[in-house]
Structure 1
Amino acid sequence: MRYCLALVIVLFSLPLSAAQLQLELGGTLRPVDSSELLKHPQAREISIPQDVSYKRPMRYRAVPVAALLEGVKADDHLQAVALDGFAAEMPAGPLLQAGPARAWLAIEDPAKPWPALAQGKPSAGPFYLVWTDPQASGIRPEQWPFQIATIRRLAPVEQRFPALLPDPRLAANDPVRQGFALFQQNCLACHRLNGAGDAQFGPDLNVPHNPTEYFRPEYLRMYIRDPQSLRHWPQARMPGFGKDVLSEQDLDALLAYLKHMAGRRP
């Protein structure tokens, strides 16, 4: 009994381990850990009135993302990779701006862990990209990646994954082109298409079959708007895309892109 008590005391006296974030912004890899970031000169307490992941007000110790992006320019392209394979593609411009919407890297203090995202799930930590005044710049939910492990600078999606490109003969104002842009913003973080993409989270949306081929149009729209309204699945991870994120016109364009790509398999 005395031995067990002594062991418990020793375990609780051990320092909690800091998490590490990998920054790949040039030719070198620069790791930073949470203990370092919590003491960063620009770190401060911020309030998020309506957190995208927690669906309620939250407070975080956070550092402006721009403070970590040394050498990155507004026209660069970045990718935030999460522990579960979610890979958010993001233009650097909004991340570098000081306002109106401002990007922050929230850091989970191991001594003060954040709550779980849901029952049986982990927290949004150790690193979570959050925004103050997101509505001022039209920031989308996919621009709030959590459980971030790596932030890296890459070539744009069009250059890295030509298999995603629609037919180059399409007119510049064709809805399919708009749908391709929306696919990058809303779908590519979780899904691949034609085997192209960095995400390891959801299924490929064109191989072996495209959802426009096996869903009736009205049910596919229902599924995108609210996956649980079509089929109940407790382990489902796909979020719904309400009209505040995808307007009806946007959804039409996204579906036009998916249907178009059903005819452009490798």
Structure 2
Amino acid sequence: MLAGVLLALPVHAAQLTLDLGTAKGTRTWDTEQLLKHPQARDIDIPQDVSYKRAMHYRAVPVAALLEGVTNDAHLQAIATDGFAAEMPAAPLLQKTGSQAWLAIEDPAHPWPGLSQDKPSAGPFYLVWTDPAASNISPEQWPYAVGKIRLLASVAERFPALLPDPKLAAEDPVNKGFALFQKNCFACHRLNGAGDSQLGPDLNIPHNPTEYFAGDYLKLYIRNPQNLRQWPQAKMPAITPEVLSDEELGQVVSYLKQMAGRKVSQ
């Protein structure tokens, strides 16, 4: 009952903080400013990742908000629920092919809830036009965004995530580490390292490769509800379109490696 009451409340103006480091400083945009941004326009998303249907938004190109940020930079989008998407700057700055947009929820025309008894993807939602052109993953569509900040790379900030440095760059474990950053790190910490507050740590106290027998871990990643069903489950299915079978095997190889590289608790 309470959830229904909360969802019935009107949407209010919100604020987005951009923290682009010492060189560019911090700027706060409110809903009205973004809706009136000179580059704001109406866009259509034929297959929205979060709503799983076609959606229409008023949006600003993310590149327009990141002036001065270079392609080799690293950014993090932080959502109000603790989701922290790690994102290389280059795709966000593209102006052709896959293009990133910051969709802005207008308080006068609120978006629908993501599902029954859940709020919308607002107030700010990072969406993509032509996402297939750059293989944009679902984790690169963070919603309920409250802050975007410029940071050092994941490897620099969190050395506890690194696999054995003796491994070749093309080793499946290192490939799995790259995929872990793109598809898992937004929700999960590992070895206590990370900024997300959403999902459990994947190495402490136990790594999932230590308690999922056989291929059950892969089954769980593919669709958690096929293995464990409960109404409040949050982990989405990771389909072959997001991670191929080969890539899924690489992620599991990384996790197996890290089971032997736990930090002291």
1:136 to partner: Cα distance: 1.1
Indicate the residue corresponding to 1:39 in structure 2: 36
With the length of structure 2 as denominator, give the TM-score of the two structures.
0.93
Structure 1: gaps spanning 5 or more residues: 1-14
- Alignment pair present for 1:181 and 2:178: yes
> Number of residue pairs matched?
252
1:16 to partner: Cα distance: 6.7
Indicate the residue corresponding to 1:80 in structure 2: 77
- Alignment pair present for 1:240 and 2:234: no
Deviations 1:111-147, CA, capped at 9 Å, x for gaps: 1110000111110000000000101111111110000
Deviations 1:151-183, CA, capped at 9 Å, x for gaps: 000000000000000010112221100000010
- In structure 2, relative to structure 1, the CA distance for the partners of 1:60 and 1:264 (3 Å cut) is same
Point out 4+ residue stretches in structure 1 off by more than 4 angstroms: none
CA distance in 2, matches of 1:219, 1:17: 44
Indicate the residue corresponding to 2:135 in structure 1: 138
Q: Secondary structure at the match of 1:159?
A: helix
CA distance in 2, matches of 1:17, 1:126: 9
CA distance in 2, matches of 1:43, 1:102: 14
Deviations 1:175-222, CA, capped at 9 Å, x for gaps: 100000010000000000000001000000000000000111321111
| 1:1-266 equivalences in 2 (<5 Å) | 17-27=12-22, 28-266=25-263
1:231 to partner: Cα distance: 1.2
CA distance in 2, matches of 1:129, 1:214: 35
1:17 to partner: Cα distance: 3.7
1:70 to partner: Cα distance: 2.0
Structure 2: gaps spanning 5 or more residues: 1-9
Q: Is the 8 A contact 2:161 2:193 kept in 1?
A: yes
Q: Is the 8 A contact 2:11 2:110 kept in 1?
A: no
Alignment-mate amino acid for residue 218 of structure 1: D
Query: Whose radius of gyration is greater, 1 or 2?
Result: 1
Indicate the residue corresponding to 2:3 in structure 1: none
Alignment-mate amino acid for residue 68 of structure 1: L
CA distance in 2, matches of 1:171, 1:111: 54
